[in-house]
Amino acid sequence: MQKKILEFTNILRKSGIRVSTAETLDAFAALDELSIDDRDVFRDALRATMVKRGEEVSTFDQLFELFWSGFYDHLRDAFGTAAEGLEAFGIELEDLLRQIAEQLQNMQGELGDLSELAQAMLTADLDQLEQLIRAAASQSGVDRIENFLQVGFFSRRMLEQMNYEGAGQELRDLAARLEAAGMSPEEVAALRALIDRLMEAARKSVRNFTERSLQQHNHDYMEKFRRETLLEKSFYHLTEEEIRKMREVVERLAQRIKNILSIRRRRLKRGKLDLHQTLRRNMSHGGIPFELAFKQRKKDRPKLVILCDVSSSVANVSRFMLQFVYQLQEAFTRIRSFVFVSELGEVTQLFQEGDINDSIEQALDGGGVINVYTRSNFGAAFHHFWQNFLSAIDNKTTVLVLGDARNNYNDPRAWCLRDIHEKAKNVVWLNPESPSAWGFGDSVMDRYRPYCDVSEECRNLRQLSAMIDRLVL
């Protein structure tokens, strides 16, 4: 039992649930207190001691099912249907078995002469079968299985280990001997059919067992793999599904930054002694300063002005950028967001009303202020901003530009950006293209670059999150 729980613990760990040794010991302690006959109680005890995150509960439940039961149920089903096939011959399994036993006695033999496997199959002794299969599994090292392609291989190895073919032969010989001994033809036919079905059931069960061990060991593996690759995946090639998944990843990253932020803030917050407050607070102690009060440093939160290119080529970067920024709203004093393709329009209003994700989708669609079905013109967009919104920028403002700077051979009007740069605290440019492509073809990145304090490639989530991190801390 202990060994089995440890094995289960290992499987949990492989699936990304962190179970410490102390927690395993707790689980043992818990099981000492409970009767483990009740499966639900047993599961709840393991869950309470080993799983500590709400989102891991469903993984645990699935693995628990896979590991602690499932297989027995499968065996029962498989052999149940095999026996059902007898009905077609109008013969009950028990009757048939009695017949066989009688015939064998006449031949001075008994069922016990058969190999364990053949016996277990014929009498549908599921406990014995499960033990045989598990033994064969550990002998042939099924726990090393890594991918789906190996299922066939390991299943075959297990069957060999169990001497499956041999057992089949024994059973067929038995049928032949019984026939020779004068068993009725119908019964022999029924027996032969049964044997075929039993063999099939056993083979399927072994395969099922292998698949289960694969699932147990690789559960969550794919999920983790996908999450990891999402971080690295270029924004240019995303499917709808991935965009949805990515949203969750962004949310988690934003939450993490928020946590770190709160700690860092607090450390920085305490300033000089606040004499006024200290005196006031200690009046009840007769003016003797028992409790000190400190001034709180003012939080230096940046103002943010975002200029997002929402043309189809960079829409995805803009999407996650906006999601990031708005999930971290409280880290900034004020965020104004603008979208552009060749026209430029403000979409700040959108975000003040609705749900973040809806707002983003609306903004990417022009937000009702610009036409998105034109060709990118950074020059015109910057000029428009320069004319109408330059006053939005002061020396505490960080300007964040998101775009590939593919200007369709229009006039870049870099002087607009120069003026913005002069007024702003920082100009940060995130470009989804790699730096080696900057300035080639219709890219005018090289013209804008002198006026950017930071200009970086931002092609995947990892880069984006690193960038945001620098922005807020």
Q: Which chain residues interact with other proteins by CB under 8 A?
A: 1, 4, 18, 20, 22-23, 26, 29-30, 33-34, 36-42, 44-45, 47-49, 51-54, 57, 68-73, 76, 130-131, 134, 255, 259, 262-263, 266, 284-286, 288, 290-291, 354-355
Q: Please identify, using beta-carbon distances, which residue of 57 and 279 lies nearer to other proteins.
A: 57
Shortest Å distance, C-beta 273 to other proteins: 18
Shortest Å distance, C-beta 442 to other proteins: 42
Shortest Å distance, C-beta 278 to other proteins: 13
Q: Please identify, using beta-carbon distances, which residue of 184 and 262 lies nearer to other proteins.
A: 262
Shortest Å distance, C-beta 366 to other proteins: 23
Shortest CA distance to 125 belongs to which of 202, 178, 187, 197? 202
Shortest CA distance to 417 belongs to which of 382, 455, 380, 387? 382
Q: Please identify, using beta-carbon distances, which residue of 4 and 98 lies nearer to other proteins.
A: 4
Amino acid, single-letter form, for residue 401: V
Q: Please identify, using beta-carbon distances, which residue of 11 and 380 lies nearer to other proteins.
A: 11
Q: Please identify, using beta-carbon distances, which residue of 253 and 399 lies nearer to other proteins.
A: 253
Shortest Å distance, C-beta 119 to other proteins: 19
Q: Please identify, using beta-carbon distances, which residue of 45 and 360 lies nearer to other proteins.
A: 45
Shortest Å distance, C-beta 222 to other proteins: 24
Shortest Å distance, C-beta 37 to other proteins: 6
Given the structure tokens 């960079």, which residue do they identify?
Answer: 314
Shortest Å distance, C-beta 303 to other proteins: 25
Pairing assessment for the beta strands 294-296 and 270-273 based on DSSP bridges:
antiparallel
Q: Please identify, using beta-carbon distances, which residue of 300 and 353 lies nearer to other proteins.
A: 353
- Give the span between the Cα atoms of 304 and 401, in whole angstroms: 11
Q: Please identify, using beta-carbon distances, which residue of 196 and 251 lies nearer to other proteins.
A: 251
Shortest Å distance, C-beta 268 to other proteins: 14
Q: Please identify, using beta-carbon distances, which residue of 203 and 265 lies nearer to other proteins.
A: 265
Shortest Å distance, C-beta 461 to other proteins: 20
Q: Please identify, using beta-carbon distances, which residue of 57 and 180 lies nearer to other proteins.
A: 57
Shortest CA distance to 311 belongs to which of 372, 383, 384? 372
User: Can you give the chain as a three-state secondary structure string?
Assistant: CHHHHHHHHHHHHHCCCCCCHHHHHHHHHHHHHCCCCCHHHHHHHHHHHHCCCHHHHHHHHHHHHHHHCCHHHHHHHHHHHHHHHHHHHCCCHHHHHHHHHHHHHHCCCCHHHCCHHHHHHHCCCHHHHHHHHHHHHHHCCHHHCCCHHHHHHHHHHHHHHHCHHHHHHHHHHHHHHHHHCCCCHHHHHHHHHHHHHHHHHHHHHHHHHHHHHHHHHHCCHHHHHHHHHHHHCCCCCCCHHHHHHHHHHHHHHHHHHHHHHHHHHHHHHEEEECHHHHHHHCHHHCCCCCCCCEEECCCCCCEEEEEEECCCCCHHHHHHHHHHHHHCHHHCCEEEEEEECCCEEECHHHHHHCCHHHHHHHHHCCCCCCCCCCCCCHHHHHHHHHHHHHHHCCCCEEEEEECCCECCCCCCCHHHHHHHHHHCCEEEEEECCCHHHCCCCCECHHHHHHHCCEEEECCCHHHHHHHHHHHHC
Q: Are 321 and 464 in contact (CB under 8 A)?
A: yes
Shortest Å distance, C-beta 135 to other proteins: 12
φ, ψ of residue 311 to 5 degrees: the values are -65, 155
Q: Please identify, using beta-carbon distances, which residue of 51 and 114 lies nearer to other proteins.
A: 51
- Give the span between the Cα atoms of 425 and 302, in whole angstroms: 9
Shortest Å distance, C-beta 213 to other proteins: 15
Q: Are 169 and 114 in contact (CB under 8 A)?
A: no
Q: Please identify, using beta-carbon distances, which residue of 142 and 370 lies nearer to other proteins.
A: 142
